[in-house]
Amino acid sequence: MQGSKYSHFSAIDFLKDEGFLTWQMFGEDSDGAYRQTVVADSPAIEPALREAVALYKRYVKLNDYRLPPYEIMERLVLLQGQIRAEKARRRRRRVALWVSGAAAAVAGLIVSATLLLPPAPDDNPPAAEAPVAHEASFPESSEVTLIVDRSAMVLSNNAQVSYMASGAIAVRTEDAGVAGALIREPIVETKQNKLIVPKGRRSSIILADNTHVWLNSGTTLIFPASFEQRREIYVDGEIYIEVEKDPARPFVVKSSALTIEVLGTAFNVSAYSSDIEQAVVLVEGSVAVAAGRQKMRLLPNQRFSTGGAGGNQVDNVDVTDYTCWRHGWIQTNTTSLEELATRLSRYYDREIVCDARVAHLKCFGKLVLFDDPDKVLHTISKNMNIEYRYKNTKTIILYPKK
Amino acid sequence: MLKFTPEQETLFRKFKEGDDDAFSFFYQLFINDLYAYGRGLCAESEWVKDCVQDVFLKVYFMEKEYESLAHFKYFLLKSIKNKLYDLYKSKSFSATTPLVGTGLDFMLSATVLDEMIGADDKQIIKQKIDALLSKLTARQREVIYLRFIEEMDYAQIAELLGMNVTSARKLVSRSLKRLKDDQLPLFIYLFLLYSVD
């Protein structure tokens, strides 16, 4: 046995032997020839060989990449957070209620700033007691105002109001972030609250059930601080709403002419009580709309409107046309200049009037709502080959180019 | 072969029904398998970690139609590979990352853990193994890793590498042969040396 290669091998020597390593790496797929060779060579070496196999199995690792246990836990917590966020996103159905008043364009360019909220329509139980409450006790503000219990809070433009499940209220301003937050102690009673967004201002609110509502200019929203059995809000103006799904408690949006029951969805409502036409545009899911005695179910991309020449009607529309305002732009497809002027009037809190010769012109395209109305009017006049002038600081007239 | 305990099988049924605790359990059970396989394909540990997280997030919301735990594990490994492949493709077109090789070349390297083995010996053992592995192609290394470290069966390996089962088996036997053939002349040489003594 003098000439044997393995006779003096220790376990460690085996671990350094290429034949041994190859045999180990290929596990059971290897033919075991190595073992036979070694044992035939020097039978006494078998214990050392067995020890080497045990050492290899326990201590030699290939691609031994592992995350430390604390990092795994951290990542798991992070993942659970991502899962919750994704679940919330999927649950929240976008229900955009766009209630607008195009027909009022001619007569109603000067919209009374005082909102007289009509009583809840027909025989439905008036769950939104809000319309009864009146803001007469508060002087009309030109800023976004939140009215809670009997006190009014003035908020900056584009402020986002959040109602926590606890009843606490947080307000986040666009620029200041949390720094501008204002936290109110939880309120016990579920009195109706009111968010008033004057013309030229915008705001958004997250209700106690996590439903997210965007309010366009000249809109008043009445809502309870927390929802009990029913979820019901009242709107005068235009909102885009993403309703938190809750099959046990349907969500109802009311306006002076409409009752919209959300059956699990996303949609836009435009219902300025000052406008003849009120409309609902369904973005996603399903809603039931009641207007007077008529009740019907809408499909996504459908627009239900009241007050048209032919009474109530349903059209298929491009929903972006009606929901893009909350992103700061307007998309128009077959809108008349007159309709566009009405929307801009509201948005900028100016009276924008069309000369009869240009009122019927059709507008197509995307219009960015710059903070400065002059920029927007300039864009329109260039594209449509018309002119505009200020009659006074509040009134602008659109007329044909000479 | 890949074996799971009865407890793991019970939890797997719960996981398939959408149980959150069971999901967390399998996250912890498999995260290092995904991470290690991912690191074999990609040296950037942060990229791999992000991809692992994406894979689990996707799995959480997917229909869980896995036939078995082994199938689930296979699915996870396949997902991490696809994720890294997508990431690699998107990154290789950016100006800052030069395109190297074909991308996702599988790397294997050894670690010797035991404190009982002296530092010098550890170093030699590691070098020997790494030298052996470097004689193999990236594909051969990958198949060896999946077969002998992740204990996957040839059908799954074949699917992961986009080949048929016979080719996967051949890939293993060929790499084994390659290593053995390299050693053969050395054996003879040593033998002769000893005989002369």
Residues B124 and B87 in one domain: no
Residue of A nearest to B43 (CA): A65
Q: Are B10 and B81 found together in one domain?
A: yes
CB-closest option in A12, A60, A63 to B40: A63
pTM above 0.80, yes or no: no
Q: What percent of chain A has pLDDT over 90?
A: 3
Do the strands A160-163 and A203-206 form a parallel or antiparallel pair, or are they unpaired?
Answer: parallel
Domain count across chain B: 2
From the CA of A172, how many Å to the nearest CA of chain B?
Answer: 30
Contact assignment for A64 to B113 by CB distance below 8 Å? yes
Q: Given an 8 Å threshold on Cβ–Cβ distance, is B176 in contact with A75?
A: no
pLDDT for the residue B69: 92
User: Which residue of A lies nearest to B192 if distances are taken between CA atoms?
Assistant: A3
Q: Which of A55-64, A89-98, A200-209, A259-268 has the lowest mean pLDDT?
A: A89-98
The alpha carbon of residue A14 is apart from the nearest alpha carbon of chain B, in Å, by 9
Percent of chain A having pLDDT more than 70? Answer: 76
Residue B55's pLDDT band (boundaries 50, 70, 90)? very high
Where, residue-wise, is CATH 2.60.120.1440 in chain A?
Answer: 92-319
Report if residue B106 sits inside a domain: no
CATH 3.55.50.30 in chain A, residue ranges: 328-400
Of B111, B127, B64, give the one whose Cα is nearest residue A61: B111
Residue B99 lies in a domain: no
B53 in reach of chain A (CB within 8 A): yes
- Put simply, the answer to whether B35 touches A3 (Cβ < 8 Å) is no
Same domain, B23 and B69: yes
Instruction: For A302-336, write each residue's pLDDT tens digit.
Output: 888 887 666 788 888 877 777 777 777 777 777 78
Mean pLDDT of A279-293: 85
- Name the residue among B74, B139, B76, B73 with its Cα closest to residue B108: B139
Tokens of B28: 């912890």
Nearest-angstrom CA–CA distance, A395 and A257 = 30
Burial of A372 (0-12, 13-18, 19+ CB in 10 A): exposed
Tell me the CATH number at B177. Answer: 1.10.10.10
> What ipTM describes this predicted complex?
0.84
Chain A touched by B130 (CB under 8 Å): no
Confidence of residue B103 (pLDDT cuts 50, 70, 90): low
B16, part of any domain: yes
Q: Does B186 touch chain A (CB under 8 A)?
A: yes
Residue B104 located in a structural domain: no
CB contact under 8 A, B28 and A76: yes
B chain contacts of residue A2, beta-carbon cutoff 8 Å = 194, 197
Fold entry, domain A328-400 = Phage tail protein beta-alpha-beta fold (3.55.50)
Closest Cα of chain B to A378: distance in Å? 40
Chain A: closest CA distance from residue B14 (Å): 17
In a domain, B98, yes or no: no
Query: Does the pLDDT at position A98 exceed 50?
Result: no
- Three-state SS sequence of chain B: CCCCCHHHHHHHHHHHCCCHHHHHHHHHHHHHHHHHHHHHHCCCHHHHHHHHHHHHHHHHHCCCCCCCHHHHHHHHHHHHHHHHHHHHHHHHCCCCCCCCCCCCCCCCCEEECCCCCCHHHHHHHHHHHHHHHHCCCHHHHHHHHHHHHCCCCHHHHHHHHCCCHHHHHHHHHHHHHHHHHHHHHHHHHHHHHHHHC
Mean pLDDT of A60-81: 86
Report the 10 Å Cβ neighbour count for A116: 13
Residue of B31, B148, B186 with shortest CB distance to A72 = B31
Q: Which two tokens stand for residue A178?
A: 């949390």
Burial-class residue A92 by CB neighbours within 10 Å (0-12, 13-18, 19+): middle
Instruction: Among B57, B114, B197, select the one facing A2 at the smallest CB separation.
Output: B197
pLDDT exceeding 90 applies to what percent of chain B?
33
pLDDT tens per residue across span B74-90: 999 999 999 988 887 77
- Say which of B117, B179, B190 has its CB closest to residue A12: B117
* Residue B149 scores a pLDDT above 80: yes
The chain-wide mean pLDDT, for chain A, equals 75
Lowest mean pLDDT among A19-23, A220-224, A343-347: A343-347
CATH class of segment(s) A92-319: mainly beta
Q: What is the CATH number of the domain that holds B52?
A: 1.10.1740
Q: How confident is the model at residue B95 (pLDDT cuts 50, 70, 90)?
A: very low
**B131, B86: one domain:** no
Chain B residues within an 8 Å CB radius of A75: 31, 49, 52-53
Handedness of CA B99, B102, B104, B110 (dihedral sign): negative
Domain contains B28: yes
How does DSSP assign A215-228, residue by residue?
E-TTEEEEEESS-S
B15 lies in the same domain as B78? yes
Q: Say if residue B18 is in the same domain as residue B78.
A: yes
User: In sequence order, what DSSP letters do the residues of A315-332 get, joined into one string?
Assistant: EE--THHHHGGGGTEEEE
Cβ–Cβ below 8 Å for B194 and A5: yes
Query: Do residues B75 and A101 make contact, with C-beta atoms less than 8 angstroms apart?
Result: no
Q: Is B55 contained in some domain?
A: yes
Choosing from B92, B127, B157, the residue where a domain stops is B92
Query: From the centroid of its chain, how far is CA A345?
Result: 25
The boundaries of the domain holding residue B137 are 119-196
Contact status of B40 with chain A (Cβ, < 8 Å): yes
Query: Is B84 found in the same domain as B12?
Result: yes
Hey, is the C-beta of B180 within 8 angstroms of any chain A C-beta?
yes
Chain A positions contacting chain B at CB under 8 Å are 2-5, 12, 15-19, 21-22, 25-27, 29-30, 55, 58-67, 72, 75-76, 78-80, 82-83, 86
Q: How many Cβ pairs closer than 8 A exist between chain A and B?
A: 131
| B86 domain residue, yes or no | yes
Task: Tell me whether residue A185 is exposed, middle or buried, using C-beta atoms within 10 angstroms of its C-beta: 0 to 12, 13 to 18, 19 or more.
Answer: exposed
> What distance lies between CA B122 and its chain's CA centroid?
22
Within this chain, do residues B87 and B123 fall inside the same structural domain, yes or no? Answer: no
**Would you say B126 and B112 are in contact if contact means Cβ atoms under 8 Å apart?**
yes
Mutate to test the interface with A, among B180, B183, B186, B194 (most CBs of A within 10 A): B180
Residue A100 has pLDDT above 50, yes or no: no
